[in-house]
Amino acid sequence: MRLNTKGLILKEQNIGEQDKLVTVLTADFGIIKAFVRGAKSIKSKKQSATGLLCYSKLSLYNGKDSYIIDEAECIEVFFGLRNDIEKLALAQYFAELAYELAPQETDANEYLRVVLNSLYMISTSKKPNLQIKAITELRLLSLSGYMPNLVACERCGEFETPTMYFDMEHGLLYCENCASAGVPLALELNTVTAMRHIVFSRLEKLYNFKMSDEGLQDLSYVTEMYLKIKTERKYKTLDFYNSLRTV
């Protein structure tokens, strides 16, 4: 069966001297793995179009045991990532996140749109890296079933107090009057407001907010810790990005 789709290359692995195996995030079929025959040949048109972090039109068919890409045409390669090691590291972290959180072989259109928009934002420096990082972490978590309950205080229903408290283990929010000793993370209201925006806004408005550098530090810390707790794993690409981070 032949399939035509668009996808972002999340991983690539050399197979023999000429072929490779790629992991692709597609809108129509989620995460798929596919072989690219002759991909490393200089004459192959598929070489650049199936490279890491390339967004491409793909024509593939379902072989006996796997998908095989027989045609590929590059749409976007995000050149702005290639000459900045910090940006590239963050982009590779987003690829690892997508691989971890996006579904396999089912619709994943919004996952793909979030990751593509974030890569564009990084490559063009449209927003601070930490802001894009926090948005991508929390939005992908929310799409994959880990959306925190940020509507109001879990106990009394209070929408906001100057300081609010976030239970990362259960994804619950408490006002300053209802927080207990077992909910240790205090959040300033601007951080809660940003998290609500990330979780609830339409995709077209997702990146449309501003925070101070200090506020972005706090936001990025919360979303990163929440991600680690919910997925119960470490991310090598995140560790590498954090080792490089300057802002």
Where does a domain end: 76, 102, 136?
A: 76
Task: Give me the number of domains the chain comprises.
Answer: 2
- pTM beyond 0.85: yes
Q: Return the closest-CA partner of residue 32 out of 6, 64, 70, 71.
A: 6
Compute CA distances 197 → 29, 144, 191, whole Å.
Answer: 28, 17, 10
Shared domain check, 70 and 89: no
Shared domain check, 105 and 69: no
CATH number at 43 reads 2.40.50.140
Residue 71 burial (C-beta neighbours within 10 Å; 0-12, 13-18, 19+): middle
Phi, then psi, of 39 in degrees rounded to 5 = -65, -25
Q: How confident is the prediction along the chain (247 residues), in pLDDT tens digits per residue?
A: 788 999 999 999 888 777 899 999 999 999 999 998 876 665 667 778 889 999 999 999 887 677 899 888 999 999 999 889 999 999 999 999 999 999 998 999 999 999 999 999 999 999 999 999 999 999 999 999 999 999 999 999 999 999 999 999 999 999 999 988 776 799 999 999 999 999 999 999 999 999 999 999 999 999 999 999 999 999 999 999 999 976 5
8 A C-beta contact, residue 175 and residue 156:
yes
Domain extent at residue 62: 2-76
8 A C-beta contact, residue 220 and residue 133:
yes
